[in-house]
Amino acid sequence: MSLVLKENAMREIRIGKVVINAAIGKSGEPIERAKKILEELTGQMPAVRTAKKTIRDFGIHKGEPIAVIVTLRKERALQVLKRLLAAKGNRIKSSSFDEYGNVSFGIKEHIDIPGVKYKPELGIIGMDVCIALERPGYRVARRKIMPCKIGKEHRVSKQEAIEFFKALGVEVV
């Protein structure tokens, strides 16, 4: 889904990526269960993230796996995003938008997502969802040879991101 604000194709706004992060805080069996849940939800193998430093109060050690993350792009990102937004009642707070067209929200229980059944052996996890909107030409910032900055006028603003989600049928409150 993309939104064309003028007849200029370079002004078209699209979903760059959707990142789903489940921070478990423990290694071992809870991480494996979270991996299975995210794989069933997205159809993609999640990556495991490790702790950057030791925090004794929480019982976390440096290098210990504490979270799982999945990055979705293109059509799969849009399909999963529609289900995730349905779990939130197709409502997003305006404070969830930043100044660069990014949106973040949380889901307390994964069983709120339509089409997901509760499995006692896996349990229930919560997750954070981050969505990055972009325009054609954003690749210049990520390319290996001669990376450049994205111009101020070409970035997606907060208001444009809100309009994009309203066009998707999401209520912004």
pLDDT in tens, 143-169: 999 999 988 899 999 999 999 999 988
Angstrom distance (rounded) from CA 140 to CA 149: 7
Length of the chain: 173
How many distinct structural domains can be found in the chain? 1
**Is 132's pLDDT higher than 60?**
yes
Q: How far is CA 113 from CA 47, 74, 110, in A?
A: 21, 20, 6
Residue 69 — very low, low, confident or very high, per pLDDT cuts 50/70/90? very high
Mean pLDDT of 18-41: 88
For position 6, what pLDDT does the model report?
A: 57
CATH code of 66's domain: 3.30.1440.10
Which value, to the nearest 10 degrees, does the dihedral of the CA atoms of residues 4, 146, 143, 153 take? -20
Domain residue limits at 91: 2-172
| Residue written as token pair 């009642």 | 89
- Average pLDDT of the residues of the chain: 88
